[in-house]
Structure 1
Amino acid sequence: MIVEHAVLRVRPGQAAAFETAMAKARPLVTVQQGFLSIEVRPSCDDPEIYLLLIGWDRIESHRDGFRQSPDYPHWRALLHHFYDPMPVVNYYGRSIFHD
């Protein structure tokens, strides 16, 4: 599994609206080929920072699949205007622990 990681910094005062928009956007990613899981966690220290973790079977499912799909423009329209600055996306491979 590959984990897509992004720290989402939401514009001041927009956290509640962002959470509503994310709930609307979630189904757009969950139906994608190679999608495995999604978590969006608010920061305990700052109510305008969220951690996005999306599990994919491989990086290409995100980059070449979802980002090139007809659903991605809708995802972008729902969410991208909340971010300041735009988040950096990183990918992480297998865990070094095998519990």
Structure 2
Amino acid sequence: MILEVAMLQVKPGLSESFEQNFKQASTIISKMKGYVNHELQSCMEEANKYILLVRWETLEDHTEGFRGSVEYLKWKSLLHQFYDPFPVVEHYTNVELD
């Protein structure tokens, strides 16, 4: 399983609109092949800052499947106008400590 992590800096004054649009966008991503789950967290120390965590079965489910889909265009139209700067997206895998 892969964890996608994105730090989202939303333009001042747009957090409420962003959160409303994110609810719509959540229905899009949750239907994608390889999607496991996601969560959006708001930062307690810094207004307008969020972290998005999305679990995918494989890296390609996100980078090729979702990002290469028509659904991604809808996701993009709902959310990308809120970010400044545009977020860096990173992918992580679990470290077995046994």
In the superposition, the TM-score normalised over structure 2's length comes to: 0.96
Shift of residue 95, structure 1, vs aligned partner: 3.6
Which residue pairs with 1:10 in the alignment?
A: 10
- 1:80 matches 2:86: no
Shift of residue 97, structure 1, vs aligned partner: 4.4
Q: Provide, for residues 15-56 of structure 1, a one-character-per-residue CA deviation record: whole Å limited to 9, x for no partner.
A: 000000000100110000000010100001112000000000
For the residue of structure 2 that corresponds to 1:86, the secondary structure is coil
- 1:30 matches 2:40: no
Matches within 5 A, 1:37-56: 37-56=37-56
Which residue pairs with 2:67 in the alignment?
A: 67
Q: Relative to structure 1, is the Cα distance of residues 60 and 79 closer, same or farther in structure 2, using a 3 angstrom cutoff?
A: same
In the superposition, the TM-score normalised over structure 1's length comes to: 0.95
- Residues of 2 paired with 1:54 and 1:83: CA distance? 18
Number of paired residues? 98
- Residues of 2 paired with 1:6 and 1:73: CA distance? 18
Indicate the RMSD between aligned Cα atoms, in angstroms: 1.0
- Residues of 1 paired with 2:86 and 2:48: CA distance? 13
Shift of residue 96, structure 1, vs aligned partner: 3.6
Percent identity of paired positions between Structure 1 and Structure 2:
37
Structure 1 stretches of 5 or more lacking a match? none
For the residue of structure 1 that corresponds to 2:70, the secondary structure is coil
The one-letter code matched in structure 1 to 2:22 is: M
For the residue of structure 2 that corresponds to 1:92, the secondary structure is strand
- Residues of 1 paired with 2:15 and 2:96: CA distance? 34
